[in-house]
Chain A
């Protein structure tokens, strides 16, 4: 990613996080919500991997606006030449259920893919869901008889691709959250004194931190490859995405457990900032398929009677698609 873009993004995410309206205005103004929309459609036209880096940064900054959802929704909308300026979007994160939609109280529209049609709906919040997201999720009903926009999706944009791109977005968020948890936990264990020295000096604590590091690093590696595989306006390499989401979802749970353990009881309080990351992780790891969902798909792919060979895939054309 270009330095200028990275610096701008860092500034926006770090400085504006307190005020959701200001943050959203800054994200709109910078063009980041339209990062994946081609310039010909008044978008930023960034490569996909850059958009995923923005998403990773937004997760570290605990962005409390539907930035990632809107980025992806705008990408899908652009495939049918549509644009709703300034709109905040949410997505269906579990098949087609409307029972637990993220940002149900603040997004303007829901974008879903229904039998090959991209639909954009206004909706009403029925019930806040007291759940794990940290951001307000809720049960919604669609407003009106018909969607605001209904357009036939291009052939490559199947419901599988909707799910895969969503999974990759969540993987990037999970990686950002894990990286930040590693930072927080390193800082906390270095500052906190017990038995006359900092916790970080104890081998038992170092073991915990190296476990967090191992889970985070392997998730980031899988992510960094997976974000290079989709080409704009093409179905992505689903195995790479499945590997990234399965790895990140499984890793994030372990990282949370270890981070709380390294902190002690403070890590389990709402007041301490760790809780915000934990809430999000507990939601994101399930969205668009948890680890077991993707592990089964991967395992089945390689054990079907006519399945391809692992060596071809893992050591074959790897890294040729970027």
Chain B
């Protein structure tokens, strides 16, 4: 069989980090080290989902490290996506308590910027950038997980706006959030094409008829919820973007949700701690185990940075982004497995201080990594489609 293509399948153009990025990185790192020293926070695994601290979010807002890429007139700072990446990398690597604002800063704010009314932009974005207004995601439902187009939540037009009825699930942080972007059906599907007739709504979670109940995770912690919308009356401008354009908008939101460094840095703190704790104690086999993890981390980090740069240049490296989440989630699980292996020859009571609790935390917190934001199976389907197999 003749294969004529000499083209590279994957391209990861890289760019030198700028002076501005380097000095920003140093500034963020110094701030985080000070915070740790002065008891501002204790580093935690999976911090972007599991470590919520509104006071800390407000501190970041005050320093201009939230809403970094948004326009100044909405409280943003007009920094580049790569500068934002520098900040998110450092926050994740330090295990800082960023969960409160994470979703608002990552996707909800940008969706409001893209599709919200001028009034919504002016009233909400400055508070999100200040780290005082938080958001949750309203996509999954009890009967619509990976098959997102099966959502049954519906919004009916009423004289004053919309009436929203339905149930969203796995809504992380909804219990401490101000807003949720809800994907709901506004008109029937067109035969088998269920992607039509969906719309996005910006829902204030204090509204009457919203009921949020926590769901305990396997460790007994509540970070995600079931959110009930019992005929919630919304004003007309709660419709975000265009009626019927919800699917496309939602896909755009998912790109923001999936492409960041939190998909492989959730337990960087565990790897970093292990390297420090096990210093001088590893044989060659142990060194090889850590070395392998580091090579994968290195590759992921380069891919992620390259993707941010391509996005900045108006490209959409979708395959690459899906690959980063897929490889990154599996890497995060490898970190746990490998650190367990390294510790297996040391009696538990002799494990280095701080490492054991960090490992336990990772074991409890990491399982949803391959589920949230799109399961690995959904991602593989996307990649296969982009490879031309579907």
Contacts and interface: CB of A to CB of B under 8 A. Distances in A.
Interface in A286-322: 291-292, 294-300, 302-305, 307, 309-311, 314-322
A221 B304 CA distance: 10
Interface stretch (B2-10, B108-116, B188-196): B2-10
Contact of B291 (A201, A294, A314, A315): A294
B294 A299 contact: yes
Interface of A: 10, 13-14, 56-57, 60-61, 179-180, 182-184, 186-191, 200-201, 203, 205-207, 209-210, 213-214, 216-222, 224-225, 228, 240, 242-243, 246-247, 250, 273, 291-292, 294-300, 302-305, 307, 309-311, 314-322
26 contacts: A14-B4, A14-B6, A61-B6, A186-B387, A201-B390, A213-B319, A217-B9, A217-B320, A218-B323, A220-B10, A221-B10, A243-B294, A250-B292, A291-B292, A298-B287, A299-B286, A299-B288, A299-B290, A299-B292, A303-B279, A303-B287, A315-B25, A317-B17, A318-B17, A318-B301, A318-B305
A222 B279 contact: no
A289 to B, nearest CB: 12
Interface string B284-298: 101111111011111
Interface stretch (B56-64, B218-226, B270-278): B270-278
B22 A298 contact: no
Contacts of B314: none
Contact of A213 (B4, B9, B286): B9
B12 A295 contact: no
Given A61-B6, A273-B1, A299-B292, 16 more contacts: A13-B6, A56-B8, A209-B384, A213-B10, A214-B326, A217-B12, A217-B303, A217-B323, A218-B327, A295-B287, A299-B287, A299-B288, A303-B280, A305-B279, A318-B302, A320-B17
B280 A295 contact: no
Given A228-B14, A246-B291, A314-B301, A214 B6 contact: no
A180 B3 CA distance: 8
B233 to A, nearest CB: 43
Contacts of B3: 180, 183-184, 187, 273
B291 A225 contact: no
Interface centre among A187, A302, A305 (most CB of B within 10 A): A302
A291 B289 CA distance: 11
A82 B33 CA distance: 53
Interface of B: 1, 3-6, 8-17, 22, 25, 89-90, 93, 268, 271-272, 275, 278-282, 284, 286-292, 294-303, 305-306, 319-320, 323, 326-327, 380-381, 383-384, 387-390
Contacts of A207: 380
Contacts, number: 206
A207 B326 CA distance: 12
Contact of B287 (A242, A273, A300, A316): A300
Interface centre among B17, B93, B281, B299 (most CB of A within 10 A): B299
B282 A299 contact: yes
Contacts of B280: 303-305
Judged by DSSP, the binding face of B is helix
Top 8 A-B residue pairs of the complex, sorted by shortest distance between their CB atoms: A299-B287, A295-B291, A299-B291, A298-B291, A206-B384, A218-B299, A299-B290, A295-B288
Given A222-B298, A222-B302, A189 B389 contact: yes
A295 B388 contact: no
Given A186-B388, A189-B389, A218 B291 contact: no
B384 to A, nearest CB: 4
A295 B380 contact: no
Contacts of B295: 222, 242-243, 246-247, 250, 291, 294-295, 298
A247 B293 CA distance: 10
Nearest to A205: B389
A243 B298 contact: yes
Contacts of B25: 315-316
A315 B89 contact: yes
A307 B291 CA distance: 14
B45 to A, nearest CB: 15
Contacts of B301: 314-315, 318
B292 A295 contact: yes
A239 B296 CA distance: 13
Interface centre among A292, A315, A317 (most CB of B within 10 A): A315
Contacts of A317: 17, 22
A142 to B, nearest CB: 33
A246 B287 CA distance: 13
A253 to B, nearest CB: 13
B303 A218 contact: yes
Given A213-B323, A310-B275, A60 B6 contact: yes
A61 B295 CA distance: 27
A320 B20 CA distance: 12
Contact of B327 (A190, A214, A309): A214
